C-alpha cells in the first residue's frame, strides 16, 4: 500500500510538471525523482492510458484537446488570488502616470495590468491576455484626464498554455524597445535565483531585463523555495521584489538580507474574504 502511494504521488507530480509546461522531456521527468528511463516510461504509459498525457518521442505532452491547457491556465489563475491582487496593487504604486512599462506574461502580471488600467502611457507585452485586457478596458476608452494607453503586443509563436509569444521573432522585436520599468513574474524562487518553466520564456525575460532600466519581480509566497528547471537570473539582478505578507518568518529573514528592495503587500486571505461575503 505504501509503495502504491509513492507511485501515485510520483505520477501526480510528473503530471503537474507536464501540465505546468505543456510538455516535458524524459530527462526532466527522470530528474524529478531520480528515476530510470524505463520507470518513467512505465509511469507515462499509465498516465496516457488515463488520457492525461500523450507520449511523444523523448517525452510527453498534455493529452486530449486544448481543454487540458485551458484547465492548467485557469488553475494557476485561481491560485493565491488575494495575494496576487494585493501584490498588483503595490506594484501599481511603483509605476508613474503615463509611464512606459514592459509587462511579462502570467496571471500575476495580468493583475498588475488590471491595477494600472487607465493611467499608464505605453505598455509593451508579449501576453495576449494582457493586451486584450488593456485594449478592451472601459477605463482606456472613457478616461478624459489621461491619454489612452498605447499597447504594443510583441509578435512571435503563441504558447497556448499562457497566451504569451515566444521565439526568435519575439526576441528580435524586443531589441527595438527601451523602458524605465519591467514587471516580471516567475514560476519559482530559491536561493539559487529566479526560475521559470520554459527555456523560451527565460530567453524572452532575459531580453526584457536587458531593455529595462529597472526590474520589478512580482511573486506570491507560494513560489518561494520552489525549484524549477530553467533559471532566469540571480536574485541580485532584479531591483525590487514585491511579494505578500504570507511569506513565513524564515523566508522573510532571507529576503531582507538580499540586495533587491523587498516590499510585502498586506492581503485578506480568500477564505476570510469569502466568509465576510467579499
d(CA 107, CA 4): 35
- Position 231 scores a pLDDT of 94
- Count of Cβ atoms closer than 10 Å to residue 53 Cβ: 27
- Position 214 scores a pLDDT of 98
- Position 227 scores a pLDDT of 75
d(CA 230, CA 46): 27
d(CA 65, CA 101): 35
- Position 244 scores a pLDDT of 95
34, burial (CB in 10 Å: exposed 0-12, middle 13-18, buried 19+): exposed
Q: Identify which of 102, 114, 124 has the alpha carbon closest to the alpha carbon of residue 213.
A: 102
- Position 65 scores a pLDDT of 45
- Position 185 scores a pLDDT of 96
Phi and psi angles of residue 149, each rounded to the nearest 5 degrees, phi first:
-65, 130
pTM value? 0.71
Q: What is the dihedral of CA 263, 109, 191, 240, to 10 degrees?
A: -40
In the chain the domains, ranked by start, together with CATH numbers, are 2-64 (1.10.10.10), 76-275 (3.40.50.1360)
- Position 108 scores a pLDDT of 93
The ranges of the chain with pLDDT < 50 are: 65-77, 140-141, 143, 271-278
- Position 74 scores a pLDDT of 44
The answer to whether 28 and 66 have CB atoms below 8 angstroms apart is: no
Beta partners for residue 23, in sequence order: 61
- Position 124 scores a pLDDT of 97
- Position 48 scores a pLDDT of 83
Q: What is the dihedral of CA 248, 253, 258, 262, to 10 degrees?
A: 60
Beta partners for residue 59, in sequence order: 25, 56
Q: Identify which of 108, 106, 118, 53 has the alpha carbon closest to the alpha carbon of residue 82.
A: 108
Strand runs (DSSP E) across the chain, as ranges? 23-25, 53-56, 59-62, 100-103, 122-125, 150-153, 157-159, 164-166, 179-184, 188-190, 193-196, 212-218, 230-233, 240-244, 261-265
- Position 147 scores a pLDDT of 65
Amino acid at each position: 500500500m505504501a509503495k502504491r502511494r509513492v507511485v501515485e504521488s510520483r505520477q501526480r507530480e510528473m503530471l503537474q510538471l507536464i501540465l505546468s509546461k505543456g510538455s516535458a522531456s524524459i530527462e526532466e521527468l527522470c530528474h524529478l525523482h531520480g528515476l530510470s528511463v524505463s520507470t518513467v516510461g512505465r509511469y507515462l504509459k499509465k498516465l496516457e492510458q488515463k488520457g492525461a498525457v500523450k507520449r511523444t518521442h523523448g517525452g510527453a505532452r498534455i493529452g486530449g484537446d486544448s481543454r487540458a491547457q485551458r484547465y492548467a491556465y485557469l488553475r494557476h489563475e485561481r491560485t493565491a488570488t488575494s495575494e496576487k491582487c494585493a501584490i498588483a496593487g503595490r506594484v501599481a504604486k511603483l509605476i508613474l502616470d503615463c509611464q512606459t512599462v514592459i509587462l511579462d506574461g502570467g496571471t500575476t502580471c495580468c493583475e498588475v495590468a488590471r491595477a494600472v488600467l487607465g493611467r499608464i502611457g505605453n505598455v509593451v507585452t508579449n501576453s495576449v491576455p494582457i493586451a486584450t485586457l488593456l485594449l478592451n478596458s472601459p477605463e482606456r476608452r472613457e478616461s478624459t484626464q489621461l491619454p489612452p494607453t498605447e499597447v504594443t503586443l510583441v509578435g512571435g509563436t503563441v504558447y497556448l498554455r499562457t497566451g504569451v509569444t515566444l521565439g526568435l521573432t519575439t526576441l528580435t522585436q524586443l531589441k527595438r524597445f527601451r523602458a524605465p520599468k519591467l514587471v516580471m513574474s516567475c514560476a519559482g524562487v530559491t536561493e539559487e535565483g529566479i526560475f521559470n518553466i520554459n527555456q523560451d520564456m527565460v530567453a524572452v525575460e532575459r531580453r526584457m531585463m536587458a531593455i529595462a532600466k529597472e526590474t520589478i519581480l512580482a511573486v506570491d509566497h507560494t513560489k518561494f523555495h520552489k525549484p524549477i528547471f530553467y533559471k532566469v537570473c540571480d536574485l541580485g539582478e532584479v531591483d525590487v521584489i514585491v511579494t505578500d505578507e504570507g511569506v513565513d518568518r524564515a523566508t522573510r529573514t532571507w529576503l531582507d538580507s538580499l540586495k533587491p528592495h523587498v516590499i510585502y503587500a498586506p492581503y485578506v486571505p480568500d477564505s476570510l474574504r469569502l466568509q465576510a461575503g467579499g
